[in-house]
A and B are shown apart, each in its own frame.
Chain A
Amino acid sequence: MMTPVRTWNRKDLIGIEELSRPEIELILDTAPQFVAVSARESGIKKVPLLQGRLVVNWFYEPSTRTRTSFELAAKRLSADTLSIAASASSSVKGESLHDTLANIEAMHSDIIVLRHYYAGAPHMLAKRHASHIINAGDGRHEHPTQALLDAYTMLDHVRTLRGDRHATLDGLRVALIGDVAHSRVARSNIWCLTKLGARVVLCGPRTLMPPEIGRMGVDVSYNLHEAIHDADVIYALRIQLERQQSCLFPSLREYIKLFRIDRESLKVAPPHALIMHPGPINRDVELAAEVADSSRSVVLQQVTNGVAVRMAVMHLLANQPGRRTAPAATEERAP
């Protein structure tokens, strides 16, 4: 069967909001071969697609999972990688983001993976600089590769379950539980899942729901049982414990009592429902340990798939036709 002709022609990946469904699907359908590269039992877990390119990981916020995942993705594509931690960079000496990036680019960077505490920082840089910018999380705005790896994990599960590798997420019921308001993961996931045809319900304390819910195309419930009783996927968001100090919920005990996913609350959920979490987990806050470690939980598959999805994104950004000045191709080259 011929796959429909789809090409990637964006320089950067800033958010899911601006992507079309075919663009999201192109990324998700590029990932399976990269999953296989990392899963090679014997031989070399690497392909030469980004050989000789420079990928710079530039992180202004702490991150282990995302930074490691991007670094591994770049390495498995045979790229050279460089990490810049903001605390050790010239930003502490007052250099602007533009100047720092201009200096990185003077060393011929190809892809910049940026995490920044200001929403819009990757967008601002992408407009002025030639490198491909990948947003690895900006403020409360977006974390697009997290949403893509989450969607891939759901899709992979649905496709395996139905034995149909072209199955889609149309109609899938996903419950996002917890602190939606402060979560860029939630925001990217909402855009991604609704564009892919899934039905999303948000659930958590009222104070942790975003004001713009009305135009996001999702349902809201303030009752956990109501939100998960028909869910195919239960996605627990991380409770940022520091939020409690800003009095957004009365006590952790109350949150746990009302919204924690545990064996008890799962009794109302369908037995096939998948448990997901973007990590790092506050054990026994959002997810009970017995659930996080159960066979229904795919949190570690999310991590595994994250590398492959990031490989797909880097490949699509940096290897798109016409973007680089390649040596002149012979006309009428034989296939």
Chain B
Amino acid sequence: MPQPPEPSSTIVMHADAMAEVVHRLAQEIVGGNPDVEKVVLLGILRRGRPLADRLAAHIKEMTGISLPVGSLATTLYRDDLRAGMGHAQIGLAGTYFDFPIDDMTIVLVDDVLAAGRTIRAAMDEVMDYGRPARIQLACLIDRGGRELPIQPDYLGWTVAAGPREYVSVRLVELDGEDAVLLIPHPYKFGSGEASP
């Protein structure tokens, strides 16, 4: 359900810029994987999934190859849930992919990279499903604030966000528009589905 952006937010990326960035990320994924037919894309729910679909569409255009795309929920592997600090809910939408990942190159796709804890959870989850040849990471925005030694292989933009600012990626598929906003509020935990 599209919700209007916060009034005091700043737009840091417009739709045109986002389209360019996604196109460039697709080019870099192709460039980084000479054996591109061995690549599978796993979008981290929720906004990583539409981004993964867009990347797959671009890669199809460039190479003629349709890469398999799946969804990763990561919620069942989150460290904050496990420790009893959990605020994220285990939503209805779960991990789903119907292709084997053994010996494949998995590109994890997420909208915002921050602490890196979601990516840690995603890697653990993937490993429970099989043994990929390698795992790479593509992110639209790196907002900084890393708590784990995790870096993206393919990065859209870096946004210098302070600890009291929240980076909100809005996508046509889910929010009715393409934009990245900087919202001057501390991120509120527990505001719905796990949306790191």
Contacts and interface: CB of A to CB of B under 8 A. Distances in A.
Main secondary structure of the interface of A (DSSP, over half): loop
A321 B94 contact: no
A2 B88 CA distance: 12
Contacts of B147: 330, 333-334
Interface string B92-120: 10111000101000000000101100000
Interface in A1-51: 1-3, 5-7, 29-30, 32-34, 36-37, 40, 42-44, 46-51
Nearest to B166: A335
Interface stretch (B10-18, B26-34, B53-61, B186-194): B186-194
Contacts of B73: 33
B89 interface: yes
Contact of A334 (B86, B129, B145): B145
Main secondary structure of the interface of B (DSSP, over half): loop
Interface string A292-335: 00000000000000000000100100111111101101101111
Contact of A315 (B90, B115, B143, B190): B90
A165 interface: yes
Interface string B58-87: 000000000000000101110011111111
Interface residues of B, number: 44
A40 B129 CA distance: 8
B128 A43 contact: yes
Nearest to A165: B92
Among the interface residues B75, B90, B166, which one has the most CB atoms of the partner chain A within 10 A? B90
Contacts of A6: 89
Nearest to A320: B84
Nearest to B113: A334
Contacts of A29: 91-92
B163 A334 contact: yes
Contacts of B196: 335
Contact of B192 (A2, A32, A50, A332): A2
Nearest to A32: B92
Contacts of A329: 80, 85
Given A7-B190, A43-B128, A46-B128, A334 B115 contact: yes
A318 B100 CA distance: 33
A249 B118 CA distance: 60
Contacts of A33: 73, 75-76, 90-92, 94-95
A130 to B, nearest CB: 14
Contact of A42 (B75, B130, B145, B187): B130
Say which size band chain A's interface belongs to.
35 or more
Interface string A47-67: 111110000000000000000
Given A42-B100, A335-B187, A2 B1 contact: yes
A320 B86 contact: yes
Contact of A47 (B77, B166, B186, B187): B77
Contacts of B173: none
Contact of A335 (B91, B114, B124, B129): B114
Among the interface residues B81, B130, B189, B191, which one has the most CB atoms of the partner chain A within 10 A? B81
Nearest to A322: B84
Among the interface residues A318, A322, A324, A334, which one has the most CB atoms of the partner chain B within 10 A? A334
B94 A326 contact: no
A67 B49 CA distance: 39
Contacts of B189: 335
Contacts of B90: 30, 33, 312, 315
B128 A319 contact: no
Contacts of B115: 333-335
B143 A334 contact: yes
A320 to B, nearest CB: 7
B44 to A, nearest CB: 13
A5 B192 contact: yes
A326 B85 contact: yes
Interface in B141-180: 143-145, 147, 163-164, 166
6 A-B pairs with least C-beta separation: A334-B145, A324-B84, A43-B129, A2-B192, A334-B114, A33-B94
Interface of A: 1-3, 5-7, 29-30, 32-34, 36-37, 40, 42-44, 46-51, 165-166, 312, 315, 318-324, 326-327, 329-330, 332-335
Interface of B: 1, 73, 75-77, 80-87, 89-92, 94-96, 100, 102, 112, 114-115, 124, 128-130, 143-145, 147, 163-164, 166, 186-187, 189-193, 196
Given A5-B191, A49-B76, 12 more contacts: A2-B192, A5-B192, A6-B89, A42-B100, A42-B130, A44-B128, A165-B92, A315-B90, A329-B85, A333-B147, A334-B147, A335-B189
8 contacts: A2-B191, A3-B89, A5-B192, A33-B90, A33-B94, A42-B102, A315-B90, A324-B83
